[in-house]
Chains A and B, each alone.
Chain A
Amino acid sequence: MKWKKYRKDNGMPLFLSIILVFCILGTVMFSVVRKLSAEMSASAIQNLSESLDLMKGTLEAILRKEAEFQKMMAQEIATIEDPEEFIRSYQRNQTMVRVSLIEAGKTKGVSNIGKKFTEGELNFSAGGMVEGLQVSQSYLNYMGTWAYTMKCPVKKEGREIASLYIEYVYDSFEESLPDGFYDGWAMLYIMDAESERFVLKPKGMGERDAGHLNLEDFYRANDIQEEELKEEVSACVESGENILFYHDIRDKNALNYMWAVNQGTIYLIGYVPVEAIQQEERTVNQNIIIVIVVMLVAFLLCCILYYLNQRQQIRMRKEQEEEREIHNKRLAEALQVARMASDSKTMFLSNMSHDIRTPMNAVLGFTSLLARDAENPIRVREYTKKIMASGQHLLSLINDILDVSKIESGKVVLSAEEFTLSDLVCSVDAIIRPMARAKHQNFYVEVTDIRHEYLMGDEMRINQILINLLSNAVKYTPEGGNIWFRIIGQKQRSNQYAFIRIEVEDDGYGMTQEYLKTIFDAFTRAENSTTNKVQGTGLGMAITKNIVKLMGGTIDVSSEVGKGSLFVVELEFRLPEGQADRRFWVEHRIERILAADSDAECRSNIKRLLEDTGILTDTVATAEEALHLLQTGGSARNYQVVLLSERLLLANGAETVKEIRRLLPEETPMLFLAEYDAEGLEEALAMAHTGMIGKPFFVSALQEKVLEMQRERNVDGRAEKEKVNNLEGLHFLAAEDNEINAEILEEVLSIEGADCELVENGKLALERFASSGENEFDAILMDVQMPVMNGYEATKAIRALDRGDAKRIPIIAMTANAFAEDEKEALNAGMNAHVAKPIDVEALKRAIKECILGKE
């Protein structure tokens, strides 16, 4: 990984450098300590030697003084007449504890302690001398302490007349030696070299746990067992040399010393622990160790800080890498999406290019043909029909594209208006059934479990959904196939909302699973050899999905290639207040209805739908039953409406139906419940007060039919209808800035027998209307997007004019702004109707008629 490499490249050399620096530092420190230690050891040895030399000097000085004093005493004795008496009278002191004299030629002498004295008690064989006087070997004297004796000749006139023996005790040395040596750490004895016997341990010279008798005991007690060392010591003692050596004493490193005094007749012997003579070394070493430890701690802390820093940097780097990777991944995904979108759009554009060019090609081609064959009316009609068809297709393409664009940019606003399922099904049926029939397909409409027909919602958009789904079903189902359109009432989740499931099923080509994944994406279209002859924008399903989503519903699809597809849309619609208008039925005195249908489901459906209206419903399965019911007890008068399924008519013939009609009072409507495209009803419908309502049954459809039949009874509808059917004699004011459009408009109106006065913008329209006479114009046709003053502003200004017809005159918007909100805005501005461009002559005529009729 990168970060590891980075660490290896940058971290390790630095780390190794630090280690190297500290190693060098450590080596230098170690060398310094060693050198210091060696110097201090040498210094300590020097110091010890000097101390021992000092003590040696002191003891030798004492011995010399003793010898000199003894010589003086001998000289004195030589002058005394009775030397023996002098000796006897001598009082011992702390140094000289016994004084004895043996006259020349005798073996026994006198002593100051009263006993006879012989030289045989003493051993002078070792040959020790002080200032020329013989010194005896050490011995335990009469006082129970260690002593030595010096022998001095007493000479008179050059002749030796006697020998003077003076006994000195070693205890007398004690006063001349220091009280303690190396602060009591050192051990010191005085040893007689000849006998190797320890003769004095000066006070304060250390403590120990075994009595030291002699050199051998000293070795044993202090575990000095090395024979070589012992031999070396013996050799030194024999030759009267000093010896100093290291040896552990009771597990402590110690300097052992044997210091010759008086040419080696006596020895200063003992040891001192090294730590006692090198106390400063210990302190120095301790301080150095403290410094080293502190340095190590500092080094360790530095290492830890360095490590933490490295770790943090690595972590940050890692996080950055990860972030970058995620970012790159997202970018790659985004790029992929963009590419896909781009591909989709490229494909779409390619399709569009093809799809737009194809009808456009037809328009242009036939237009050129039209110019050539203008004299031939049959050709002209044929060309214009084809131009019209191509133009319509082009228009639907453009509408779809605009729809997707609007939905995607969130500009779609759903309206919530009351509508009836009846109208919805009716309008869809009216569009789809002809399409299906054209392809010889069976189109089934089924409505089940619906409790509420009146709903609040955007009917136009719901229509759009259904048309999209059904037209696709028609498109992608081969000839002779079946299409089912089902509206199924679901259990309500709330009292205020109706929950409806819409199913569109076909047994057509079906879709692959891969395609199902992208079916609701924009700019996709199922492409294969079977379907590529089908025209379409590929936007229908995307629009459908988005509208369903906008309505808070769901859409699902299941499909299998070769078996067909099933689209399921679930939507909730708010219920309008004051639904189930019972008053209508009361006002029209309809209390009881007889319904006859061979399909039990249809019968229960009718019954259920009429429950809320307060109408009593009797249902029978056959026409005969209906007839029988009406015949008994004059009950025909009890029914204000009779519903008969077309199936009964076809099954039983016209006779039974006629009999029923005959039994019914004249004003009682008899209605056939039939498919919209049902055939063979003409004879039956020719009967008075007989009509037809489309299947499936809806209360609203019944209501409308009843109302219509009553109206027909009251008005001579046919004459009226004819009157308003053309625009003959009407005079319009038209505001249109586009010359071609203006020309088309003028031409269309003139064909219809109307004329119009054209102005170029809203301001001119305002001025023209203001200057016109009362009721000079029947209506104003107003473009919206115009220079100087737009249609809305002009309308508002006209409505604001102070003249009688300013408020009344119908103003019809003619605009390329074809969306619902545009229509809404137009109405808000004071216009009466909205007609989208390109101008559909029929739509224009219908709008004009509605306005003028409404006005009247």
Chain B
Amino acid sequence: MNSYGVKKAMAVCLAGVMTLMATACGGQKEAERNLISSEQGEKVVVNLFGPMEKTNPDAENIARSAFDQTVIMAEDALDVTVIYRTYTAENYQEKTYDDVTLDRVRNNMDDLYLLNPDTIQVLGEEGGLLDLSGLENAGNLRDIVRMANTVDGKLVAIPQEVVAYGLFVNQDMFDQYDLKLPETPEDFLECCRVFQENGIETPVGANRWWLENFVFAQAYADLYNGGNTEAEIAALNSGESKYSDYMRSGFEFLKKMMDLGYIDAEAAYEYEAIEGEGPDFLAQKTPIVMAYWGAANTDTAYGNPDFNMKVIGFPSDRGQIPVVSMTGYGISANAEHLDEAVKTLDIILSDEALELYSKTNKVISPSKNVDVDCIPALRPLNDKIQENTYVLGSNAGLKVEQWGNTCLIVRELLKGATVEECMAKFDKLQKKSLRE
């Protein structure tokens, strides 16, 4: 461009700038008389009680973000606002989340609840939860899910994911000491012995929540996989069989582990899940921990280890076996916003929402219509589940609540109770259930 052309362009630019400034100086439209826009009609509110608060879309915690996305789907579809009410215990001495949940359901404080298996059973039996069988999307559920959440013939809760618990092992360390991944409790103890002999004082990292999975694996491997499940459950519910008979071997196994120092009982009693034992596992000081499926996909848990990690089932006489548990959503039978809560839950549990949730969190979906690929580390566990080889950590069909009670009794064991004292507690619980 010659200089004349440049000058011309400059002149046009200057004119443009002047126009821009002149436009910017222009007056605004005259304000209306009433400066406050008329109030919008109040939105219908659905109160959701859960352990976590509602998050921003850009929140780092992927699990909660996935749940929030499904909630947003419901909010958009129904034009409701889901308000999160939360409670988190400050320490183990405080009321647990489950305690608070029970109180809140019983006092009709909220509409929707995220419930742990033990509270599902308690509240189901009390009649505090709405029968969800009528939900449009209830028909999509896998049978196992339906069975685990049915109390007195009523489907009282539905989970967003099937939570499978397994052992997270450091394959590299097993290879280092030429150890095979344990199939039976004896194998497991032998592995621990070898690790300990090689300087790893506490081969198993444990917390106050998940040690019970060892007990469930050994107690119910036959019950759920022996082909006589219903009859055995009926015998337990009628008192013909004793829970303590089922549980004893598991408790003895744990006791032995504690006695041999394979588990640090004192630490385990106070450790919160993952927070306590996780760092040592990731630092390869501990070759074995226990956790849920999703932990293998979550960077904040065990999603990105520096070693070859495998997730396997807990040892039992039937070999490795996953423990399946479900935290489900239930609706208070006397919910203030019952209809909206039902509709909201129906959308949250739709195949579309469950697919979004499962794919985001890479977890097993409760819907038989949603399949999700799993990462290589989870394949051993996934293979067992696909073979229908697993035990339920919670079953609302059993009169004695399993997940919460066993957890508490294991804590007793951790505090120094004998196996016999623990078994007596189970017998007491069974008696109580028979009385009710």
Contact = CB atoms under 8 A, between A and B. Distances in A.
Interface stretch (A141-149, A724-732, A848-856): A141-149
Contacts of B21: 291, 294
A297 B17 contact: yes
Interface string B214-246: 000000000000000000000000000000000
A213 interface: yes
A213 B88 CA distance: 7
A212 B51 CA distance: 11
A105 interface: no
Nearest to A293: B17
B434 to A, nearest CB: 26
Interface in A184-226: 197, 201, 203, 207-214
Nearest to A287: B24
Contacts, number: 78
Interface string B3-47: 100110010011001001100100000000000000000000100
Nearest to A169: B109
B317 interface: no
Interface residues of A, number: 29
Contacts of A141: 103
A298 B53 contact: no
B95 A140 contact: yes
B178 to A, nearest CB: 43
Given A211-B53, A308-B7, A144 B87 contact: yes
Interface in A286-309: 287, 290-291, 294, 297-298, 301, 304-305, 308
Contact of A211 (B3, B7, B88, B101): B88
A7 interface: no
A308 B52 contact: no
Contact of B101 (A144, A208, A287, A297): A144
A209 B100 CA distance: 22
A286 to B, nearest CB: 11
B interface residue count range (under 10 / 10 to 19 / 20 to 34 / 35 or more): 35 or more
A207 B56 contact: yes
Interface stretch (B59-67, B129-137, B150-158): B59-67
Contacts of B101: 144
Contacts of B20: 294
Interface in A593-612: none
A312 B3 contact: yes
A324 to B, nearest CB: 23
B56 to A, nearest CB: 5
Contact of B109 (A143, A203, A214, A308): A143
Contacts of A145: 103-104, 109
A311 interface: yes
Given A294-B17, A294-B20, A209 B87 contact: no
A38 B203 CA distance: 60
Contact of B55 (A208, A213, A311): A208
Nearest to B90: A213
A308 B17 contact: no
Interface in B190-215: none
A297 B21 CA distance: 12
A25 to B, nearest CB: 15
Contacts of A210: 53
Given A144-B103, A209-B61, A197 B90 contact: yes
A140 B56 CA distance: 27
Contacts of A142: 103, 107
Contacts of A304: 6, 10
B102 to A, nearest CB: 7
A209 B300 CA distance: 13
A211 B52 contact: yes
A720 to B, nearest CB: 90
A140 B100 contact: yes
Contacts of B106: 143
B269 to A, nearest CB: 21
Contacts of B306: none
Given A209-B61, A294-B17, A304-B10, A144 B88 contact: no
B7 A305 contact: yes
Interface string B67-90: 000000000000000010011101
Interface in A131-154: 140-145
Nearest to B47: A203
A737 to B, nearest CB: 72
B359 interface: no
Contacts of A213: 88, 90
Interface in A19-59: none
B112 to A, nearest CB: 15
Nearest 10 A-B pairs (CB), nearest first? A144-B103, A209-B59, A144-B104, A143-B107, A144-B100, A209-B55, A211-B88, A207-B54, A203-B83, A301-B10
Interface of B: 3, 6-7, 10, 13-14, 17, 20-21, 24, 45, 51-56, 59-61, 64, 83, 86-88, 90, 94-95, 99-104, 106-107, 109
17 contacts: A141-B103, A144-B87, A144-B109, A145-B103, A197-B90, A201-B53, A203-B83, A209-B53, A209-B59, A209-B60, A210-B53, A211-B52, A291-B21, A297-B17, A308-B3, A308-B10, A312-B3
Interface of A: 140-145, 197, 201, 203, 207-214, 287, 290-291, 294, 297-298, 301, 304-305, 308, 311-312
Given A209-B55, A304-B10, 19 more contacts: A140-B95, A141-B103, A143-B104, A143-B106, A143-B109, A144-B100, A144-B109, A145-B103, A145-B109, A207-B56, A208-B55, A208-B56, A209-B56, A209-B64, A214-B90, A287-B24, A291-B21, A297-B13, A298-B14
